Structure 1
């Protein structure tokens, strides 16, 4: 009797592919000093500088007041999440598209969706890191009061929804850059403008009304508002344009941006640069 041996190599499991791709993404991120400094250190520097310079109290008509750093902590955490998701995804994917990394990955047996799983894991790890560092710095250097009780649940779902929406939007925006060299110049101004008009660096009520309307279109404004609700006393909701935290609307808008971001990713994502 002749025995026929099957010399085919068994393919790794999907879970193994996901773990490997996620590990690659994390190693590549933390090996790039510029990305680590800009994504992790820059928000911390902003918190330290603005917290030291803008040392004043915000008071409502009813007499309730808090230090500016209590409000700024919510805004800078929202900005940190934006940097770890939208900016990070848009710039890194545009760079990998330009240097041929994406084209190479398409030619391998790896499922295409494993690439995006790796990116999502990278965003999750970096987001957790930046949030933890910012909370630590805010409490140690400026005595910021952390959320308590059910506020932590609100903090978690606002962070999760905001990060998901910004990650998907970042993947979609990566297609705006003509090549990797222009990615940072394309994406960074968009992120900075959104931060200035979304109430990150000062009270949102101080933003001109027409810019408030523009900011309300995008997820950063709603993420910052949701985070303010867990860092500030309920009385300070009176300083919001609607006079309340509008957490239901925060969840709705961020959820809609997750859906819209997914549709944009599917319709605009490219594995190669556009032809010159």
Structure 2
């Protein structure tokens, strides 16, 4: 009679966190070894910024509050980078690892999903910060984009950035359950991300969209991240161009918090080491 191997014993909380932190390094090495991912996720916001800042020149606004087009496009591309890093990156990675058996093998070890997602979240945070730093460096050093000079603006940048990134990461984990295989993950995830960027004020002004599309896209988290970033990098006079004529910082925090909770619930409900139909 063949002996049945005992089920692996789960690690305690301390070791779970410690292993998760160690896994961040592994995830980062895997990330930067994938040239296509580095190009289409890490470098993409900076490349798009170069395209827009080179093609569209001149100033936006009038008088002392006028800003260059290079400054005007910066907040939207930062929001787009958060979406790419937080949603597209994890969704594609997890779907692929689920399809190629990586998650199935991990599910047969004492490693818990918490350990796995600490590693993923750490990778997202590090790569997104580096991505944003590169974008801001290109904007300021190459194109002379104007950056905030007061601490309050940078503090606002920090909480919008962190809250937006956590929210997008949880939504990316949830989205990873939609593709039926790693081969189809790109076809499912990338069009969704591109569509959300275009209707959320990343590439074009949100106020230029038809009213019905503004109403539909107005609930999306990236719309609020982009609006929050505009409040950081653009003069206060620009808030008159927003849909409600205000930066609505309190509503930004509320909407992102709602999406964060929704992303957490959806990721908990949908995540499996293997697909149910697999």
Residues 151-198 of structure 1: CA distance to partner in whole angstroms, max 9, x if unpaired? Answer: 000000010011011000000011110110111110111111111111
Matched, 1:241 2:235: no
Q: Is the 8 A contact 1:195 1:201 kept in 2?
A: yes
State the alpha-carbon separation in 1 of the partners of residues 172 and 202 from structure 2: 19
How big is the shift at 1:13?
A: 3.0
Equivalent residues, number: 266
**Structure 2: any 5+ residue segments left out of the alignment?**
1-11
Q: Partner of 2:264 in structure 1? A: 262
Following superposition of structure 1 onto structure 2, how do residues 89-100 of structure 1 map, counting pairs within 5 Å?
Answer: 89-100=90-101
Moved over 6 A (4+): none
Whether the 8 Å CA contact 1:178–1:274 is kept in 2: the answer is no
Map 1:40-119 onto structure 2 (within 5 A).
40-59=42-61, 64-119=65-120
Match of 2:202 among 190, 200, 203: 200
Tell me how far apart the structure 2 counterparts of residues 11 and 225 of structure 1 sit (CA, whole Å). 38
In the TM superposition, residue 112 of structure 1 has moved relative to its aligned partner by 2.3
State the 1:217 CA deviation.
1.4
Counterparts of 2:14 and 2:66 in 1: how far apart (Å)? 58
Instruction: Say if 1:39 and 1:88, in contact at 8 Å, map to a contact too.
Output: yes
Cα deviation 1:73-128 (Å, max 9, x = unaligned): 00001101111110001100000000000000010111221001101100110111
CA separation in 2, counterparts of 1:273 and 1:37?
29
Q: TM-score, normalised by structure 1?
A: 0.92
1:272 aligns with 2:260: no
Q: How many Å separate the matches in 1 of 2:90 and 2:76? A: 21
Cα root mean square deviation, aligned: 1.8
Which residue in 2 is equivalent to 1:24?
Answer: 26
Equivalent residues in 2 for 1:106-145 (5 A)? Answer: 106-145=107-146
The counterpart of 1:220, out of the listed 215, 219, 222, is 222
Matches within 5 A, 1:6-25: 13-25=15-27
- Does residue 153 in structure 1 map to residue 150 in structure 2? no
CA contact (8 A) 2:16 2:111 kept: no
TM-score scaled to structure 2, two decimals? 0.91
Provide the rounded CA distance (Å) in 2 between the counterparts of 1:181 and 1:118. Answer: 23
Determine whether 1:36 maps to 2:38: yes
